[in-house]
Amino acid sequence: MELPAWSVGPDDALPRTRGADWPSALDRAWAFGDGRAAGVRVAVIDSGIDPHHPVLAGPLQRAVAMEIGPGGATVVADETGDVSGHGTACAGIIRSLAPACELTSVRVLGPDLTGGGDALVAGLRWAIAEGHEVVNLSLSTTKARFADALRALVDEAYFRGAVLVASAHNMPVDSWPWRFASVLSVGSHALPDPETFFANPRPPVEFHARGLDVEVAWAGGTTIRASGNSFATPHMAAMAARVLGAHPGLRPFELKTVLHLIATNREEGP
């Protein structure tokens, strides 16, 4: 009998052993290593990043903007700067917790933090194709017509080994891509410790991180205090980058498992 596509036969070996350095009980010391996330490429899909903001304390790997040209064609333009401050806020949180990660800015939002779904899709497609291991998405779209395209990209990212860390909407509305199962979805908690994050036993939101009254970098080299799931998301993106910095090559489901096992609310069994 012919095997269906993507199947394995009885003689096919699929070894999947636990890494020799995996301890019998996971903890943050093992999961994060030195906590710097060296070499991990993180894309921030947002309003841009101000590369000169003092909070960033380091250069960007690259900065691009998604422009939708005539006929809907996507133009990827090298362009630095932040048109609102929102992307710089997210990048500053990531860099503060994962200081050695390699940040890339992918601008899809305008000065008023609005942007078309076409730009979001184009920016996510570019970030995945460029091989970023972590993609921070502190934004979503409520327009259902973009859901299929985003679902296809989310699946592509998953099979490539990239983790998409996506903000849940601040309102109880349907939006994407955070609701897709393979995405690491994030809501907020109100505690002040940036290292505290919770695994949520009641999905679709999978994790909660600091997102209320957070001091964040903003436009013009300033800082402001802000609240929202947008700012919880980069906390978890940084945690993901830390794990990948210590343990390169983990698949998205393995990375999620590690984060679940080291969450602040993890209870030890008997």
pLDDT at 26: 83
Residue-by-residue DSSP string for 206-260: -EEEE-SSEEEE-GGG-EEEE-SHHHHHHHHHHHHHHHHHHSTT--HHHHHHHHH
Q: Are strands 134-137 and 41-46 parallel, antiparallel or unpaired?
A: parallel
Report the SS3 class of residue 198: strand
pLDDT at 141: 95
pLDDT at 268: 56
pLDDT at 23: 75
Q: Profile the chain (270 residues) by mean pLDDT over runs of 10 residues.
A: 60 64 82 97 97 92 88 80 96 98 96 87 96 97 96 98 96 94 95 94 92 95 95 97 97 96 76
Q: What is the dihedral of CA 105, 110, 115, 119, to 10 degrees?
A: -40
Q: In 10 A of CB 196, how many CB atoms?
A: 15
Q: Which CATH class is domain 40-261?
A: alpha beta
Q: How far apart are CA 177 and CA 170, in angstroms?
A: 14
pTM for the model:
0.92
By C-alpha distance, which of 110, 100, 26 is closest to 56? Answer: 100
Q: In 10 A of CB 113, how many CB atoms?
A: 15
pLDDT at 4: 63
